[in-house]
Amino acid sequence: MSVTIGVDVGGTKIAAGAVSESGEILAYVRKPTPAGDPDSVVAVITECVNELGKSYEAEAIGIGAAGFVDADRKSVVFAPNLAWRNEPLAVRVSERTGRAVVVENDANAAAWAEFRFGAASGTKSAILVTVGTGIGGGVIMNNQLLRGAHGFAAEIGHIGLVPDGKLCGCGLKGCWEAYSSGNALVRAAREFATESPAVATRLLELGRGKPEGITGLMVTQAAQEGDALAAECFNQIGYYMGKGLADLAALLDPEMFVLAGGVCEAGDLLLDPTRRSFESSLTARTFRPTIPIGVATLGNEAGIIGAADLARS
């Protein structure tokens, strides 16, 4: 049986697994991320790999990292939450483990996992959109991961959706993630609670009386309870999610979209307004095949599975 090791490096945790060629995680380890020290991050990745290597003879290692990965899949050019700047990660981990190493952006790795083994299996072209604190994504076109000339493709959260719109965390205005992410959901709820406290009674109750106390989980809870204002927050971000997907469909024409990330746990609260907005915004929608919008099936393990599979191939 062919086994590779996948590593998912995040700002708070490093998770790794020994993964079979069918995408099954055979063994799993998880350790805290020493995010402020690049050398320590490499050391923890090595510890995870060596621990798994005691039980499985892995052929190669795939590492998914939140950041810009170069075209050769060897270095992390920029990772805002990990203090990596032109970090030769593949070489450093390979030297310590004695195995070949491939590095990939974490959203790309998750997209590849859903394409190979998850919600998009059976397609040739699909787009994964991760909806968490921000928006990320990965694009598969004709069975190939779309990486671009420099390896930086599919930073879709920073598509300019609204000209001169709201300020994004990246410093630009009008980015998609400023309108349709977990942060956007919370901002909408807090704005409503500030401007119309008499209407936002449930949200304020959950937030202990303060707009700034409202979190994304609270908005989801209130909406699931039937609170109209919380549901309207989802309608807002769903509207912009559908608009962004329609733009991607016009550009790339995928067979399907797969939504992933914490905000998607709200289910139809997000999916229903997203689908309505997508259908009303899609060019020539009555003359083209339906493009389904589904939900990821591999959960938090997608990054590990995708990174391991990319290392194998």
What would the pLDDT profile of 148-189 be if each residue is shown by its tens digit?
999 999 999 999 999 999 999 889 999 999 999 999 999 999
What would the pLDDT profile of 250-296 be if each residue is shown by its tens digit?
999 999 999 999 999 999 999 999 999 999 999 998 999 999 999 99
Please, what are the domains in the chain? 3-112+301-312 (3.30.420.40), 122-296 (3.30.420.40)
pLDDT at 255: 98
* Residue 185: how many other CB atoms lie within 10 Å: 26
What would the pLDDT profile of 184-233 be if each residue is shown by its tens digit?
999 999 999 999 999 999 999 999 999 999 999 999 999 999 999 999 99
CB 63 within 8 A of CB 101: yes
* Residue 20: how many other CB atoms lie within 10 Å: 18
